[in-house]
Amino acid sequence: MRAIPAIDLREGACVQLVGGSYDAERVRVDDPLDALRHWRGFGFRSFHVVDLDAALGRGSNAQVVTRLTSHEPGLAFTVGGGVRDTARVTALLEGGASGVVVGTRAIEDAGWLAEVTERFPGRVVVAADVRGREVVTRGWTAGSGRTLDQVLAVLEPLALGGLLVTAVHKEGQLEGVDLSLMREVVKRSRHRLYASGGVTTMDDLRALAAAGAYGAVIGMALYTGRLDAREVAREFAE
């Protein structure tokens, strides 16, 4: 399993929010490239970039995303946040992203998702943001009315690059992961699992690896120093 530092973008900066709430910003790095260089220095080579403003319809950090994905050859970036049309998927992939994360439209428009995964097989990752066991959309602000099991069944036949499953109820809390949720996804889906939400300790990472996760996205615990980045990279960076 690989550990993947999160670079969440808000108003041009790299931030960490508690529970995804704009009113609960705990970390801010004014230049996201500084965050990238910092984590790169420990040996991380894969990164997860999210445009929070685009996800919530509050603006765009597209230029910042381009600066990140074009900064250094050989790094892998999954990029998401407000990706709701094929043109944006195309632009991100052409701009250096290894994979594109689609959430709200992927959940709400199965026909479009089938079309875009056929066009870009293995490069589209679907974000299934889960609160309890309901999949939520629109920057975690709206319930979809669909359970995780229902969403996984629809996604199963598609040529996805993976599933990014975020335990929203754990995000930014530094209280550990929802391991039962991640085990359920591994059991029910053939797609790679990128686990997110609540990663706090090395034991969390080891448990996710044992459960069969392909990757673990880490945010708050790295940025606050709760996790030792050198130790994480030594065990879980590629």
User: Catalytic positions, please?
Assistant: 8, 129
Distance between CA atoms of residues 213 and 182, nearest Å:
8
Tokens representing residue 192 in the block? 């790679």
Positive or negative torsion for Cα 201, 203, 206, 212: negative
| Of 72, 10, 83, 28, residue with least CA distance to 47 | 72
